[in-house]
Structure 1
Amino acid sequence: MVLADLGRKISSALRSLNSTPTISKEVLDDLLKKIATALIEADVNIRQVLQLRENVKSAISINDQAAGLNKQQMIQTAVFRELLKLVDPGVPEYKPTKGKANVFMLVGLQGSGKTTTCTKLAYYYMKRNWKTCLVCADTFRAGAYDQIKQNATKARIPFYGSYTESDPVVIAYDGVETFKREGFEIIIVDTSGRHKQEDSLFEEMLQVSNAVKPDNVIFVMDASIGQACEAQAKAFKQKVDICSVIITKLDGHAKGGGALSAVASTKSPIVFIGTGEKIDEFELLRLNLLLENYWDMEICQD
């Protein structure tokens, strides 16, 4: 996985400090160059990379000669804190409540894998004993309802949609209300893919949101679009209150670092990643814990 590869590269750069007898400005610059290169290769937004470098430099006083001062640890800690800022917006993720209806609304660009992700998300919760269902409010893409129907039937997940109703707001509202009455706990609403330049589709997305009043609006991002995600994520955030981010197609692309731009733009945590086409190739993600694990296992033990 590209983000794990990124973690290894950064860990390797930080570990090299432990074998450096003297920490100088040149050593710090070389370290930050290696880290910046790793981040840029992973397609992390260059503005964020430059800001990280400046913040680390500001936090470190190379000329401080205080007795017992461990400059290696100071630098490692400063880098860790800045990396954590990239992946942790400081906003708690939405946690569904058992015994009540939790409405999830998925939004994103065309082709982001949103409809497939809806089924994967429903399957994830169903396997953990939540009463889960799907609502297809995508009336824009031909075959969207058939796709939901086929996927949900195969996974044995109840679903709602219509071949005759063309208004996604009506479908979304009726589907959510139907499943609420039937006591479902996780109600996942699929919406049409849209682009920031499509004003009418964005207005439609807002109307669907107002109708179903989702507890958790999830922005679905295709990892392959890299930094281009930032402007799109901002546009979605301006229309609806995005609570979470899911990254799809992360198994085959080197641009996964662009996902970090989504976190920065939406101020929302990345909670799941799609790692393949199968329904169970879907993982809970804790980027902050990933960093902490690399810190604990690969740096602090040296």
Structure 2
Amino acid sequence: MVLGELSRRLTSAMSALTGSNIIDEKLLDAVLKEICSALLESDVNVKLVGNLRKSVKQKVNLKDLPAGVNKKRIVQKTVVDELIKLVDPKVEAYKPVKGKTNVIMFVGLQGSGKTTSCTKLALFYQKQGFKSCLVCADTFRAGAFDQLKQNATKARIPFYGSYTETDPVRISKEGVDKFKKEKFEIIIVDTSGRHRQEKELFAEMVQIQQAVKPHQTIMVLDASIGQAAESQSKAFKESSNFGAIIITKMDGHAKGGGAISAVAVTQTPIVFIGTGEHMHELERFSAQPFISKLLGMGDIQGLMEHVQSLNLDKNKGMIKNLEQGTFTVRDLRDQMGNILKLGPLGKVASMLPGMGQMFESMGGDDTSGRVKRLISIMDSMTEKELDSDGRVFNADPSRMTRVARGSGTSVREVEEVLSQHRMMLGMAKKMGGKNGMMAKMNAVGGSPKNAQQAASLQRKMQSKGSASGLPLPGGMNMSDMMKMAGQMMGGGAGDMPDMSSMMSQFGDMFGGGPGGRQGSPNLSRNRGGRR
């Protein structure tokens, strides 16, 4: 993903700091050198990088620190604070008001993903309870209206545009006036892409702005634009005075640092980031969680919000099965469906402290194709087979041959699915029953001691840390947190699952493995039933 290499290098630099027993000027200079080098190679403006280094050196005077002070914590906090400053101009973006008309105008370079982002934002606000619509004022690019029309129809969002009218100012004015009369709350105006050297198009942009009088103007910035981001965003700022930025294509492999420079030069906040091509792949941007993920600390709060927004299927039957210590093949299929809704597993892993780097080391990238293949295998099973614990296949191996033929896969792949089911069934047996984890977790709160431990664990989980040892607020790291969770459940640290082992199992489950190879070595060969 974008900034992936930067994340790896920043995490490595911070890990070197936490792994050292002696914190002195030499170590600080080495850490700052690595951090600054990583930022520069990611296309962050050299002046910004220089200011960051200078600021950290000024705020961290190791010689003057009193004895007994945790120098690691001070250096870490200062570095994190300075990185946050790069992406947080401390300016509040406009917030739409329910019950009133909110006109939002989009500007940016051609090919930056404006039209797609318009639809994504309209859909985002629609899910928030706003009455949203779209206006296509892009008459310059061939097929622009068709693209917006297709996207809007797919997302079930009302739209306005014209195949015959060539004046974008007139179209935008008519569209906004129409939707205002119909009491729409979010009216998003999509404009033509333009370059800072195209003076006529820039003048047209200003005319559209004067005609529709937007409450907010958003610049869409491609994460792969590189060092040109600074000059382009500065030119747009001077002409349209945009008040917010959406960064697109954050799922690519570009350096991405130019977008950070654009924020600094325009002193404009990032409000959303596009993380994929699908309509729901638009995330609210928050500086602190963004930097936390960049440093491998995760974003647990963001993960919880992401899961809640997806309205995942709540399988009451599966919960009942787990309480009894069992797990059917149907339960596995239902959970695979929920995983597809979550998006790429690497994205979810990046929200867990320390898990992003671990997942990448196992070669986990795009899992959707592999998960769909697993589901297709289970879709070829009978109702009896789905509701079983998998032993019917052991009793009658010919069932595997039939499932393989029905799903267009191999017997080996069916065996692998059943193997993963047995692994999940084993976990369910440990969780369920009178003495399982679920019973112990349900008992938490029954005694004052357990209630206090649960509350303490809750507070620690809300803090962000790194599995590689980067301490959480209060001096606790992930190892301490897992140990505490084990104690809360009535056991010790040994009762909690090993995180490396757990992620390795996930890698195996989706066709990868700790070897770090990309793709699906097990599920991509032996097609057509050949073994």
- Provide the residue aligned with 2:464 in structure 1: 296
The amino acid that maps onto 2:60 is: I
Structure 2 residue matching 1:242: 3-state secondary structure: coil
- Provide the residue aligned with 1:157 in structure 2: 157
Quote the RMSD (CA, aligned, Å). Answer: 1.8
The amino acid that maps onto 2:169 is: V
For normalisation by structure 2, the TM-score amounts to: 0.54
- Provide the residue aligned with 2:213 in structure 1: 213
- Decide which moves more: 197-206 or 256-265: 256-265
- Provide the residue aligned with 1:166 in structure 2: 166
**TM-aligned CA deviation for residue 227 of structure 1:** 1.7
**TM-aligned CA deviation for residue 9 of structure 1:** 3.6
The amino acid that maps onto 1:300 is: P
- Provide the residue aligned with 1:42 in structure 2: 42
Aligned residues: 302
1:225 aligns with 2:225: yes
Structure 1 residue matching 2:134: 3-state secondary structure: strand
For normalisation by structure 1, the TM-score amounts to: 0.94
How big is each residue's C-alpha offset from its partner over 1:121-179, in whole Å with a ceiling of 9 and x where there is no partner?
A: 11222223211000011111111112111221222111111122221111111111110
Task: Judging by fraction of residues, say which structure has more strand.
Answer: 1
- Provide the residue aligned with 2:128 in structure 1: 128
**TM-aligned CA deviation for residue 290 of structure 1:** 2.7
How big is each residue's C-alpha offset from its partner over 1:207-228, in whole Å with a ceiling of 9 and x where there is no partner?
A: 1111111111110011111221
* Percent of matched pairs sharing the same residue: 58
* Distance in 2 between residues matched to 1:12 and 1:296, nearest whole Å: 17
**TM-aligned CA deviation for residue 11 of structure 1:** 3.7
The amino acid that maps onto 1:297 is: G
**TM-aligned CA deviation for residue 291 of structure 1:** 2.6
* Distance in 2 between residues matched to 1:164 and 1:144, nearest whole Å: 13
Correspondences of 1:92-131 after superposition (within 5 Å): 92-131=92-131
- Provide the residue aligned with 2:202 in structure 1: 202
RCO comparison, higher one (Cα < 8 Å, 6+): 1
**TM-aligned CA deviation for residue 65 of structure 1:** 5.0
**TM-aligned CA deviation for residue 292 of structure 1:** 4.8
Change beyond 3 A, Cα 1:65–1:271: closer
* Distance in 1 between residues matched to 2:268 and 2:226, nearest whole Å: 17
The amino acid that maps onto 2:283 is: E
**TM-aligned CA deviation for residue 70 of structure 1:** 2.7
Contact 2:113-2:222 within 8 A present in 1 as well: yes
The amino acid that maps onto 1:159 is: F
Correspondences of 1:2-81 after superposition (within 5 Å): 2-3=2-3, 6-7=6-7, 9-64=9-64, 66-81=66-81
- Provide the residue aligned with 1:190 in structure 2: 190
Structure 2 residue matching 1:218: 3-state secondary structure: strand
- Decide which moves more: 189-198 or 288-297: 288-297
Contact 2:120-2:282 within 8 A present in 1 as well: yes
Unaligned stretches of 5+ residues in structure 2: 298-462, 478-531
The amino acid that maps onto 2:465 is: M
**TM-aligned CA deviation for residue 56 of structure 1:** 0.8
Unaligned stretches of 5+ residues in structure 1: none
- Provide the residue aligned with 2:241 in structure 1: 241
The amino acid that maps onto 1:190 is: D
The amino acid that maps onto 2:76 is: Q
Contact 1:43-1:254 within 8 A present in 2 as well: no
Contact 2:87-2:287 within 8 A present in 1 as well: yes
**TM-aligned CA deviation for residue 278 of structure 1:** 1.8
Contact 2:3-2:253 within 8 A present in 1 as well: no
**TM-aligned CA deviation for residue 52 of structure 1:** 0.8
